[in-house]
Amino acid sequence: MVVANATTGIASPLKCALSLSQGFQGSTRRLQWRKNERQCVKKAGHGVITAKFDLKPPPYPLDALEPHMSRETFEYHWGKHHRAYVDNLNKQIAGTELDGMTLEDIVVLTYNKGDLLPPFNNAAQVWNHDFFWESMKPSGGGKPAGELLDLINRDFGSFEEFVKEFKTAAATQFGSGWAWLVYKANRLEVGNAENPLPSDEDKKLVVVKSPNAVNPLVWDYFPLLTVDVWEHAYYLDYQNRRPDYLSIFMEKLVSWEAVSSRLDSAKARATEREREEERKKNEEEENGTANSEAVEMYLESDDAVSD
Amino acid sequence: MALRTLLTRKNLANSPMGMLGLRGLQTFSLPDLPYDYGTLEPAISGDIMQLHHQKHHQTYITNYNKALEQLDDAVAKGDASAVVKLQSAIKFNGGGHVNHSIFWKNLAPIREGGGEPPKSSLGWAIDNHFGSLEVLIQKMNAEGAALQGSGWVWLGVDKEFKRLVVETTANQDPLVTKGSNLVPLLGIDVWEHAYYLQYKNVRPDYLKNIWKVINWKYASEVYEKECP
């Protein structure tokens, strides 16, 4: 069910065989475009069917985060910047091998190990902004609870320490970029070395920052929370006062429900991938094959967690 | 010490050179603009000019001074890893100070010559190298608009080959990071803070309009110095 309302005024194009679920608890997995499902849009007058990405509205009205993030900011940030990334990405991928791929696959592929291909900027920024809107909610902020809080305490010492580290990362990202809380599966990948004692302890929460459009998908991390520190994200409301914007973001805007839900998905994915790798390893040993080339693409499995 | 008492804050108010610290460490202060904030309107709003100068540029200077102090300390202690660690803060904040100091001189109110096309040797060099001033402007605008994230678009001169170049740099990297022989004649700030309050996401409009207040006199002076 797509959350849309009068203030956002999104018209839905023709959809065919589409499953798209979205909501306050939307996790990154659920928002993925499934590989074999497309939104079919007929190009007027040409009868050509192409797959394209949508500008998804935030899961709340554009004025719902006032006074912390103004409606005016949303009108430009979502209505112009995010929209342009979507439109330009669709133009760039039309008719190419990227057409029909999931957004996350496009991001990782066009990152190209740091030698960015042209669609990367648009693809990653589409993903980043979807993720950012969902990282916030009206009457947000406060503290997380449950397992998320436990992990934060474990990996940062305390919630306050985490907040400090997150705000510092966001404040010291020179130029444009993003700050992230991610879930990281800390595996040894040194030639044929293996982590001898893989356990839950190896998987941890980490704060990272990234420039321009780069996001932690390209490092194979699971993003849990982000804040946009491109100037367009805060200039109308805070001008140069990025630290004030960051404080308000933490105190009033963060959707800890979204972060918790993403953590659940991340843990499930991490476990699933470990099982996959274990299974593959056993298969290879049985078959006596020497083919153990590491999977470079960030794949989604067809039986991913769904709702 | 006698020298130090001569250098009062008041004397140095208009100088970007700043004061000499205890160990002779030179710190920096915000250079005054040679025009009022509102006099570049409507090309660039007075609000933007004031914020840009008093907040953004000042912050680069403050943080540059801080980084220099820490660097001085680290060098004195022989702490190599601290020295290396400070490089990004120095590049970023020092670059911010260098770039903005040039930028203020690149702009002038219309009644003080802003927008007047370059004459004499720079004008001729532009025509010779790019075909015309219009072509140069198109090129700089295209590169400025295409720049992802934050940065600058520059018209520079290669002082070794006496050749004009158009370059972009990311974040606050000075032009010299693109080539040690490159001297900046004219830089256009395409960080969002340079235009957002007025032009919002429409960077191309900002780029189109800024030419009305570009101070070609300064650019010519620098060019003639490098290419006499």
Tokens of A224: 């849990």
Residue of A nearest to B55 (CA): A240
Inform me whether the pLDDT recorded for A26 exceeds 70.
no
Q: Taking all residues of chain B, what is their mean pLDDT, rounded to a whole number? A: 92
Cis peptide before B42 (omega within 30 of 0): yes
So what's the ipTM on this one? 0.89
pLDDT at A273: 85
A294 in Cβ contact with A179 (< 8 Å): no
pLDDT at B81: 97
Portion 147-176 of B in contact with A at CB < 8 A: 148-151, 170-172
Q: How many CA atoms lie within 13 A of B90 on its CB side?
A: 13
CA of residue B21 relative to chain centroid, distance = 25
Asked if the C-beta of B81 comes within 8 angstroms of chain A's C-beta atoms, the answer is no
Of B56, B149, B200, the CB nearest to A175: B149
Inform me whether the pLDDT recorded for B124 exceeds 70.
yes
CA of residue B171 relative to chain centroid, distance = 12
Using DSSP, state whether B63 is helix, strand or coil: helix
Of A84, A174, A240, the CB nearest to B92: A174
- When mean pLDDT is compared across A252-266, A275-289, B115-129, the lowest value belongs to A275-289
**Long-range CB contact pairs, A296-303, < 8 A, 24+:** A297/A105, A297/A108, A297/A109, A298/A104, A298/A105, A298/A108, A298/A217, A298/A220, A299/A105, A300/A29, A300/A32, A300/A35, A300/A102, A300/A104, A300/A105, A301/A272, A301/A276, A302/A35
- By percentage, how much of chain A surpasses pLDDT 90? 62
pLDDT at B25: 82
pLDDT at B114: 97
For A33, phi then psi, to 5°, come to -75, 125
pLDDT category at B123 given cuts 50, 70, 90 is very high
Strands (E), chain A: 40-42, 49-51, 177-185, 203-211, 222-228
Which of the two residues, B120 and B207, has the higher pLDDT score? B207
- Provide the phi-psi class of A99: left if phi over 0, else alpha when psi is between -120 and 50, else beta: beta
User: What's the rounded Cα separation, in Å, for the pair A162 and A166?
Assistant: 6
Cα Rg of chain B, angstroms: 19
pLDDT at A278: 86
pLDDT category at B4 given cuts 50, 70, 90 is very low
Q: What is the mean pLDDT of residues B199-228?
A: 97
Q: What is the mean pLDDT of residues A254-269?
A: 96
Inform me whether the pLDDT recorded for B56 exceeds 90.
yes
Residue of B nearest to A120 (CA): B148
Mark out the alpha helices in B35-119 (DSSP H runs): 46-51, 58-77, 80-85, 87-106
B4 in Cβ contact with B20 (< 8 Å): yes
Look up tokens 């700089």; give the residue.
Answer: B140
pLDDT category at B11 given cuts 50, 70, 90 is very low
DSSP states along B150-196:
SEEEEEEEETTTTEEEEEEEETT--GGGG-TTEEEEEEEE-SGGGTH
